Amino acid sequence: MQIKLLGPFEVRDRDVADVPGARLRGLLAALALRPGQVVPKATLIDWIWGEHFEQAIAVVEELAALDDVVQMRMRQARLHWLAGDKDACAAAVAEAERLAEGVTWPGTLASLALVRAELARWEGNAPEAFEQFGHAMSLLGEEAQQPHLRAASHDLHAWFAADLDEAREHRAAACAAAAETGRAPEIAHALVGVADLALRRAQHDHAARLLAASAQVLGQKDLSDPDVARIEQEARNQLGDEAFDQAAREGAATAWTELVAVPLTRA
């Protein structure tokens, strides 16, 4: 955790629960409830010593405990989906929804909606995917403008874009936002999306290069993304194993920023 009074404030890895002292945790909760804002001293005093103290502590407990349990259930749902067990996936989602009843912390509810959107996208259910994603963004408010969420928005639109040029524009925007985050998972996921675009443009060798670049950025193949296996299989079928493996070696040895330029160029 990094704290600078009268300056930037950051909490990492949900370690707020380990902060000793109920009133200090109340202080952290008060600051967390006003992200990106200057919190007046009078407000902090009210939260820590006044009538809002119990509410602040409840927020800390909700953030540190219940949210973790809900995220765990949603991860289980994702794994069941990847394993092809849709009944178990539905049961995990239902349990997460039951646990989230009455929760007021926007982050928990937004995370739930984002995973629902992802599952709907894998099912090819565009209306449900967009509805859940929009719900998540409304819960997050200004935080929805963060680069990783902008990347997710463009990624979702690209998957369902019927027009190749529209898909290309969204893929380009997703790559730009992912690069802005500087985080490997977002960049790797954006590259998988561009690989799918390459397939749509019959650039099968380039799809192989992009998948390899994605794995290189991440440090391993992303087995949590069902699109990786689908794209690889389709490209292998078109190229053959030898040509696919050769293209993959080329992709692993090339900067990802160079690789995305080919499929993102207007046909």
What does each C-alpha distance from 23 to 44, 46, 217 come to in angstroms? 11, 11, 42
Given CA atoms 74, 76, 82, 83 in this order, what sign does their dihedral have? negative
Q: What are phi and psi of 2, to 5 degrees?
A: -120, 125
pTM of the model: 0.69
Q: Which helix (H) or strand (E) holds 20?
A: none
**Contact (Cβ atoms closer than 8 angstroms) between residue 139 and residue 106:** yes
pLDDT, mean of residues 191-201: 95
Query: How far apart are alpha carbons 49 and 211 in whole angstroms?
Result: 54
Domain locations in the chain as residue ranges: 2-144, 146-264
pLDDT at 23 over 50: yes
pLDDT, mean of residues 237-260: 95
Supply 196's token pair: 């799918």
Which pLDDT value is given to residue 2?
40
Query: How far apart are alpha carbons 12 and 2 in whole angstroms?
Result: 8
pLDDT at 103 over 90: no
Q: Which residue has the tokens 């193949």?
A: 221
pLDDT, mean of residues 211-236: 89
**Contact (Cβ atoms closer than 8 angstroms) between residue 189 and residue 225:** yes
Supply 95's token pair: 């349990």
Structure confidence by residue, pLDDT tens digits, 155-187: 999 999 989 999 999 999 999 999 999 999 899
